[in-house]
Each structure stands twice: as structure tokens, then as C-alpha cells.
Structure 1
Amino acid sequence: MLLIGTSEGVYRAPVDEIDDATRVLDTERVMRVRRFGKRIFAATQSGLFRSTDSGTTWTDLDVPRDEVYSVCQSPDGERLYAGTHPAHLYVSSDDSESWRELTGLQELPSREEWRLPRHRHEAHVRALDIHPDAPERIIAGIEVGGVHVSDDGGDTWSERRDGLHDDVHHILVRDSEEYIASCGGGLYRTHDAGRSWTRLDTDVDHTYFREAFAANGRLYAAAARSSPPSWGGEHGADAALFESTDGGDTLESVPYPGKPDDFILAWSALDEDDDVLAGTRGGNILRRTGGEWTRIGSVPASIRTLSVTSGSV
């Protein structure tokens, strides 16, 4: 089954029957759907929700702030983290019965600079992740505020924003030291946990990246020519899809259904084969099979995030 997080809640459908999707969670905009083992979490602008039955039913986990933009779990499953708007970070160590704010994030020197005019002059914790090889290291991406890293489970933090565009939308954590940050002003990679960054999109003319994804030795990244305020113009988002087989050193523009009007915003991969799925701003689901992208269905809302539930297509 596929869970599809949209601007109008979460939809659920078999991958081969997308057009028959059913809305299983009615919320405001869904920012992230993630699966950790048998539990699935939906971070939404109405709260953080959990499902233990492959997305059929959901429970509100009562995070102290309503607008939850990101979620991650420690590798041992003992801690659950929730990033919010405004930019605060909370942790639960008792299966979401209670939450504690990690106030160290508020003590970073750049904290007063974190804001975005079109988001009420505030910022949010847009990305959170932990790699199993560094289980105490939390990587947080702030829109707008850069990347920051904690090596003690979230109590204290270091800024890792030098050389990086500070409008961070997503962080792809490839190992304990290598991350790829999709930003409003470029695609960046680090090999030293954010202490230095290299820009990867210098040879392409699209600079607004929302999310990168890696599967089967290939990196995928979609971008618009510029930021959303320009999308109402004659050319819309003017979107492109890039693939790379060398970790992002070179980006190849590839065709896909809906290009250039429909912007890819979400990714997932099927557990049982090598196919990759993509979700678009226009509500379409695309599938890459044998090197070609095809449209396999749609939902009646803009897609923000995708997650395949365990053991089923």
C-alpha cells in the first residue's frame, strides 16, 4: 500500500490502483509521512499522528505545538522527535505519552535570524533525521535558518550552515557524515556532517530544490527555476527532474510526464523491486520502471510526501 500525504490529508491506495485512493486522515497540509518499523507517522499542520495498522486509523500524539513539520525516531526506537512551526523541537521517551522541549536548539547564535516573511516572519524545523551509525546525532534543517547538528540526542547543538543556502527544505542523510540538502537556493552536499558544503547544481539553471532521494545507486532531485512566488507567471514552476549516478557530481535532466508544468515534490521506493515512485504538485503519481517514467494515477490534492507501507505494493 502507498500512503500519500497531500494538502488535504493522507490518502491510502494500492500502488497499482492509485485512482481508487481513499482519504484516511483528514487534516490540514501534510508535511511528512514516515515509517519506522510497523509504525507510521504523519507530521501535519494539524498535529503529529501515528498509525499502527498501515495507515487505516490514526491517533493524535498531542505535540505541544499544533503545526508539526518533521518527525524522526532514534534507531533504538526509544525516542521520537517532532519539529514544529515556529521552529521548536520536542522529544518523547515514553511512547508519545509526554513531550519535552529540547531548548538547546533555541540557544544557537543564529536563532534570531530564523524567519521567512511569507511564513508569518517565523521559521520551522522542516527536516529531521538520524543515521544508525551515529545514533545520538540529530540533523535538523530549518526553513529559513540552515542546518544544525546535535551529537548528544538533542541537548546541545552546533551550527553547520556556513557555505549553505539557509532556506532548507529537506536533508537526505546518506550515512553518518554525508548529507544532501535541498534548498530554496541550490542543492548541496557535505561529507563531514555539515562542517563544509559543496554546491551540486552549478551546471543547471534550476535552483529551487524541494527534496532529493536515493535508491539503487541513483540520486533523484527535482527543481523549479525559482521560488513559489514566481509560479503564477506565464511559465509556472518551469520544473525539471535530474538524475545522477555519481552521487550528485553530475546532474542529468530527464523527461517525465507533466514536465515542465508539474513539479515533483515527493519520493518513495517499492520494497519488493527497484521501482521508484514520485508525487507531484498536481496530484499525480509517477513510477520509474526500466529507466522510464510513467504516470500511474492521481489524487485530488497536491502531493507533499509519500511512504510505502511495509511488505506490500
Structure 2
Amino acid sequence: MRQMREAPGVGDPRARPTRVACALLIATVPLWGCTRTTELGRQEFPSYDAGVDLPGGPATDGGIDGPVIPILPDGGCHITWAAGIDSADVTTMATFGDRVIAGTGNGLFYSTDSGQTWSASAALENLEVVGVAAGRTRLAAIVEDGDGSIAYSSEDGQVWFPSGEGLPANFEARVLVTDGDEPLLVTTAPDQNVFRFDSMTGVWSPVDAPAGVRDFASRDGVEVAVSGNGTQVWGREGQGPWTEALLSPPAPEIREVWTAGAGFALSTDSALYMSADGHSFTAIALPPGESAGPDAILRPAPSIVAAFPHGVWRTDDGTNWTRLGDPIDRAGQRRQALASDGERLYVGTPEGVWRSDPGGTSLAPSNQGLNGATVRAISGEGPRLIVSTGTDRLYRSTDGGRTFTPSPVLLADAKIGALGRSGTTVFAGTQGQGVLRSTDDGVSFSLSNEGFPTRMTREGEQYFEIRAIAAEGEIVIAGLSSGMARSADAGQTWTAANAGLPTAGADAFPEVYALSTVNSAFFASTSSGLFRSTDGGQSWQDVSEGLLVETGGAFPTLGAVVAAGKSLFVAGNQSDDTKGPVVARSDDGGASWIDLSKAVPSDVVITGFSTDGARLYALFAHEPSLPKDSVQTSEDGTEWTRLGAAPRRSVSGAFALLEGALLVGTQGHGLAWMTLAGCP
């Protein structure tokens, strides 16, 4: 059973809505390769083979399209998720009137068209929703915001308010379900630990149940409770005494109890039981080929509907099972939540929502607005946008990132990371397979590797890994895992371009973290410092003067150089990110730099940095991140103002600036699309 943390009441200072992220869109190539710790563990960026998470395998239906998905009502500072590449790890679901509700690790989504499209609910953005249940007139939800848990309620599934009146000040929640016609919350407290929500008043009230129960269910005046250690089941009728129920055969540990059909059902790690009266339970046969208990169950339900390791099944009494389908094609992934609106069945998975046809006989994915990917790089010009997810395909948008269409497989087994463009010519860098080039604005690509530098590996000769790409007219520079490559004919042919770069052994050059073009000059952030080229990348000069140098001579890991006002700016982090962020300004075209790092909080890692030409915008990530991550702005780098919360699990460097919007790539949650509308 999903374990939840405490949900403070309305009077608790933690019971508050969070601020919402907003800002302007930024950068067109991966910004830097700094190491950072995320909720998913420590990773090196670029690391194109880590964390890729596309739902149900690569798209083959010709593309995914859909509406903008607003998190807050129009007119306020808000985030919208780009339909087609946003994902959700769905762990809890409910139905309410004509709405289907899906709770995820990154907020709560609702659908008003039987799960075809999904919209994010207000006030719960960037929060982990660990329970949702429907009542007669309201929904209840439990969320975590990093400081604890909060109970919320909603009349429409769209707008939510703190609603913890009647709950103890300190408790840990075990499960939130719909029991009868109202939400029921079971906690881990050793004494009074069951509470029922009154959706008419918005108040929680204690339920007379045995102390410290694990789960609870009731119907038609009969109540059943499972002990905290799962070894006992009690039942009672009306307000009579609780008596121990009989299980045949005995079970070592009961996980859940719920109403199903005309009676009750129990589950264990390896069995299912049914009872007509709540006092005597008998084991029933598992579905064919299933040897373990269910991962998730539909509660309440007119029959037993449960998700097992090999599929979703339905039965009336265990005599005959009907397989509804298998929403998971990948080994090791679970069906985590079930819901039904009386016509369709909905299955929550780590990769979004599946829904059945009317009548519940088959299942198909329903992820428009919930589909997912880990965004590695973003390249944009006007409303045209290309996104890399580290796989063998790209995503293309022609409406400023609101909707995306996946490309076909561009190169078998390729890991596409770096992106760059010059007009309608788009370049995509791979990990060891060279450059993919498009002359039709990303509609089609072909390899373009004539003269591109190679290296010897255990597998033989391979192209250097491409870490960053920048272009100015016909000149294209590719930053590599060792040195750089240059093209003078828009990427048709290539030569090595390492003049002026230091060497580290035979034929070894610095690793390139980021590339940018400012006022016709190219800038390269490398493991040996910051370099500038004023002759189209034919030669490079070290322009690291004034930038912080760590003990031992290591240079900071810097991102792209940007221009704001009459100055140039660069930002990044000390290569050991615990040593603090780096921000610097140049007033002489990048020849020398003035350190501004003390204006930035010392406990952040800068994972995104760019400008609209007048102001600077940065994404500050904290450790641990949680809701502390923020988008901030500054006129000159000497003072920063917080605009709002940043998306959780943002990917270092996946930060792009379009007209009036900020795109932030995330780890496993697609692309966050932010606007300045209504922002302070």
C-alpha cells in the first residue's frame, strides 16, 4: 500500500498553496555539462543514455497533437505542459461526475472527455499527489510539498483548497479511498486512525474502528477492518462489537480490504479472498498465469477488477476471469491505480493513463497531455521548436512548444542530444554517430559526416561525441568530448577546429560543455576554461581572465555566453557543485570578466541561464530540490528577483527562450512551458 506522510489541517502553517513558476523562455543549445544531484540520483549531463522515458515505446501513429494544458486559470502567472511530451507517474485515480482524476508525482490532472485529453489542476502544480478520492459533492486529495503533507478538497477537480479540518495535527497517512459515498483516510497512528470526509461540510470526522488498523471498508451497515500488522481481520454489523473474521485458508498478511460485488474482498501478496457478510472469507482462484496478488484494485466496484503483474483482470466471484488488457509492455513496471466511471476503466501507470473501451473489454493508452520524455536539449527560432529526448528521434513544434509531433526513427540506436540551427537548417548531434542535418526546418534529416573527426574505441573507429552545436550563417561549430569541429558550408563538410586550444596528451583537447554565438563571435565553455573565436571558429583565444578558478587549477563548468544591454554574461557552477554557483559579466566583448557570484545564493546550482536582450533569467536548483527550485531574473546580475517555482526534476541545460515564453525540460516529466502573463 502506498505510504503517505502527514496531512496538516487548515490551521497548520504548512497548509498553504504554493507559488507558481513563471518566466521567459531561454537558450537554444544545451547550456552545460555540470554534474548535479536530482531526485533520480546523480548523473552527468550530457548523458544521453540515462533516464529516457517515452510512454509505450516510440510513437508510430504519425504524431501527437493536443491543446495547451493550463495549470492555473488564464490571466495569472501560470505554467502549461506541452501536449505530446509531458509524462506522469500516475499512482492514484478517481472518477467524479464526468471527470476522471489522476494523481501523479508532479501534480494532479483531470479529464472531462473520458480520458482522451488531460488538464493540470490548479494549486497542485509541482506537488506529489499521493491519494485522491471522490465524495458526494467534493473530491479529497493528499499531497506532499516537501515540508509535509496537506489535505485538499475540490468541487470540480480543477481548483483545489486546503481542507484538513478535523484531522490530527501530526499523523502519517496510509491510504485515501472512497468508501461508500465519501472519502476515507486511514493513518498509521497506533490508536484512533480512521477518518471520514463529509463533502457537504468539508470536515473530517473520526470513525469508530479498532486501534491502528491498516485498511477499512464498509457497506450496508457492515464494516471490515484489517489490523495494522495485517495478521487479523475484524468485522461488525451496525454499532455492534468487533469480532475477528475467519479466513479459509488462513493468510500470513492481509494487504487490503474493499467492497466488491455484493460483499467484500481481501488481498494478500499471493491470494485473493471474498466474503458476502464481512465475517467469513474464502480464497478464490487467481487469474490464469498469475501467481502473485494484485498491484492495484478498483475500489469500490460492482465486481473484482484488479491489476496483476501480467495484466488487468475482472471477475464476479473468481470462477471465471476476463483479461482486459496489459497496459505495460516493459518489464518491471507496475499498474499502480485503477478507476472507473461506470462505462470505462482507467489504469494509472508509471507512464500515464490507459483507458478501456465502453464496457471495459480492452485497454489503450490515453496520454494526450500526459505523454512523457526526459528533455535533453531545445532549439528554437520564433514559433519553430525542436526537442531532443536523448533517443533516436526528435520532437518538432510549429506553435511555440504548445504541441509536438515526434519524428520517425532518424538513426537506429542513435542517442541524439545536442541541437543547433541556422535559419531553417537544423543540426542534431549524436553520441558517436556524427551529425544529422535537416534543410527543411527539422521535417527530415540525413547524416552529414564528411571530414568529421573520429577516434578509436574498443568497437573500432567512431565519431567523437557531440556535446553542443552553435551556428552563425554558413559557419557551424560542434563541441566535442575532445575539442571542436567546424563547417564552413552549413554542415555539409567538416574539419577539426582546435587551433589555440590547450592539449592534454596526444590528440587530446578540452571537453566542450556549451557553445554560443554573440555579436558574430563564438564562445566555447570547456574543461580548460572559456574560449572565444572572432574568425568563425578557425582559431580560439582563452578569455577566462576574471573567472573563478578552483583549488588545483580546475575551471568552473560554464554555460552559454549571453548578451544583455551593453554587456556579456556567463553563468555556471564550480565543477564540484557544492562549492557554489558562478556568474560573471564582461564589458569588453568577452576579453575579460568581472565576478558577480556573490549576488547568487551559495546553496544553489544554476541549471539554466539566458536573456531576452534586456534582462537575465536563471533557473536556481537547490539540494534537495523539491519546491525550492526557482526561476529568477536580474537586470545586471548584481541582484536577483524570484519569479516563481521551477518545474520539479528540471534537466540541466534544457532551457529555451521563445517569444514571451520560457521552456524548461524535465527529467521524465516532459516540457514545462511558462509565460510572463500575470507575473510580478
Query: Into which bin does the TM-score normalised by the smaller protein fall?
Result: 0.7 to 0.9
Match of residue 250, structure 1, among 587, 592, 614: 592
SS in 1 for 2:403: coil
Alpha-carbon distance between aligned partners in 1 of 2:428 and 2:527, rounded to the nearest angstrom: 22
Aligned to 2:375: 30
Structure 1 position 205 matched with structure 2 position 552: no
Kindly tell me the number of residue pairs found equivalent between the two proteins: 286
Q: Distance in 2 between matches of 1:240 and 1:84?
A: 29
Tell me what 1:184 maps to: 527
Alignment of 1:8-47 (within 5 A): 20-24=78-82, 25-26=85-86, 27-46=372-391, 47=393
Q: Residue 3 of structure 1 contacts residue 12 of structure 1 at CA under 8 Å; is this kept in 2?
A: no
- Which of residues 259, 271, 275 is equivalent to 2:615? 275
CA distance in 2, matches of 1:124, 1:167: 10
> How far apart are the structure 1 equivalents of 2:442 and 2:538?
33
Task: Identify which of 464, 478, 482 aligns with 1:140.
Answer: 478
- Counterpart of 2:640? 293
Aligned-partner Cα distance in 2 for 1:114–1:166: 18
Residues 100 and 202 of structure 1, relative CA distance in 2, 3 Å threshold: same
Amino acid of the structure 2 residue aligned with 1:168: V
Is 2:565 aligned against 1:216?
Answer: yes
**How far does residue 89 in structure 1 lie from its aligned partner after superposition?**
0.4
Q: 1:80: which partner in 2?
A: 426
Query: CA 1:95/1:210 → structure 2, altered by over 3 Å: closer, same or farther?
Result: same
Q: Could you tell me which residue of structure 2 aligns to residue 151 of structure 1?
A: 488
* 2:642 maps to amino acid: R
TM (norm. structure 1) is 0.77
- What is the Cα deviation at residue 141 of structure 1? 1.1
Query: For 2:660 and 2:630, how far apart are their aligned partners in 1?
Result: 23
Provide the residue aligned with 1:124 in structure 2: 465
1:196 to partner: Cα distance: 2.7
Residues 120-179 of structure 1: CA deviation (Å, up to 9, x unaligned): x99532222221xxx32211111x121211112222212111332521111111244x21
Q: How does 1:158-169 map to 2 (within 5 A)?
A: 158-164=495-501, 166-169=510-513
If asked which structure has higher relative contact order (CA below 8 Å, sep 6+), I would say 2
In the alignment, the residues of structure 2 paired with residue 249 and residue 12 of structure 1 have an alpha-carbon distance, to the nearest angstrom, of 44
Match of 1:118 in 2: none
Residue 89 (1) aligns with residue 430 (2): no
Report the Cα distance in structure 2 between the residues aligned to 1:13 and 1:172, rounded to whole angstroms.
33
Which structure is larger by alpha-carbon Rg, 1 or 2?
Answer: 2
Residues 183-218 of structure 1, C-alpha deviation per residue, up to 9 Å, x if partnerless? Answer: 122111122223332222244325123312222222
Do the aligned partners of 1:280 and 1:302 also contact (CA within 8 Å) in 2? no
The alpha-carbon distance between structure 1 residues 163 and 250, as it changes in their structure 2 partners (threshold 3 A), is same
AA in 2 matched with 1:163: G
Could you tell me which residue of structure 1 aligns to residue 397 of structure 2?
51
Q: Separation in 1 of the partners of 2:373 and 2:414?
A: 10
Identity %: 25
How far 1:237 sits from its partner (Å)? Answer: 4.2
2:599–2:639 Cα contact (<8 Å) kept: no
Amino acid at match of 2:491: G
> In structure 2, the residue corresponding to 1:196 is in which secondary structure?
coil
The CA distance in 2 between the partners of 1:42 and 1:13, in whole Å, is 22
Question: What letter corresponds to residue 639 of structure 2 in structure 1?
Answer: E
Q: Partner letter of residue 37 of structure 1?
A: G
Q: Cα RMSD over matched residues? A: 3.4
Per-residue deviation at 1:219? 1.5
| Whole-Å separation in 1 of the counterparts to 2:426 and 2:401 | 18
Counterparts of 1:113 and 1:175 in 2: how far apart (Å)?
37
Q: Partner of 1:201: helix, strand, or coil?
A: coil
Q: Aligned equivalents of 1:42 and 1:56: distance in 2?
A: 12
d(CA) in 2 for partners of 1:17 and 1:113? 55
**What letter matches 2:615 in structure 1?**
D
DSSP-derived class of the 1:130 partner:
strand
The 8 Å contact of residues 209 and 221 in structure 1, kept in 2 or not, is answered as no
Deviation at 1:12, TM superposition (A): 9.1
Q: Give the unaligned 5+ runs of structure 2.
A: 1-22, 31-37, 39-50, 54-68, 87-371, 502-508, 623-628, 662-675
> What's the offset of the Cα at 1:22?
3.8
Return the alpha-carbon distance in structure 2 between the equivalents of residues 17 and 262 of structure 1: 27
What is the letter of the counterpart of residue 129 of structure 1? A
Contact kept, 8 Å, 1:222 with 1:263, in 2: the verdict is: no
Is 1:240 matched with 2:582? yes
The runs of 5 or more residues in structure 1 that have no matched partner are: 116-120
Conservation of the 8 A alpha-carbon contact between 1:187 and 1:200: yes
Which shows bigger deviation, 197-206 or 243-252? 197-206
SS at 2:450 equivalent: helix
Tell me the distance in 2 between the aligned counterparts of 1:268 and 1:248: 16
CA separation of 1:53 and 1:156: change in aligned 2, threshold 3 A? closer
Q: Residues 219-274 of structure 1: CA distance to partner in whole angstroms, max 9, x if unpaired? A: 11123333xxx44xxxx142221112212233222246753332223223237xx2
Distance 1:157 1:166 in 2: 19
> Does the 8 Å CA contact 2:420/2:471 hold for their aligned counterparts?
yes
Cα distance in 1 for residues equivalent to 2:573 and 2:657 = 26
Change in Cα spacing, 1:242 to 1:74, as seen in structure 2 (3 Å) is: closer
Per-residue deviation at 1:114? 8.9
DSSP 3-state at the match of 1:163: coil
SS in 2 for 1:53: coil
Q: Is the 8 A contact 2:563 2:611 kept in 1?
A: no
Between the aligned partners of 1:249 and 1:114, the Cα distance in structure 2 is 37
Q: CA deviation at 1:311?
A: 4.7
State the distance in 2 between where 1:257 and 1:222 align: 12
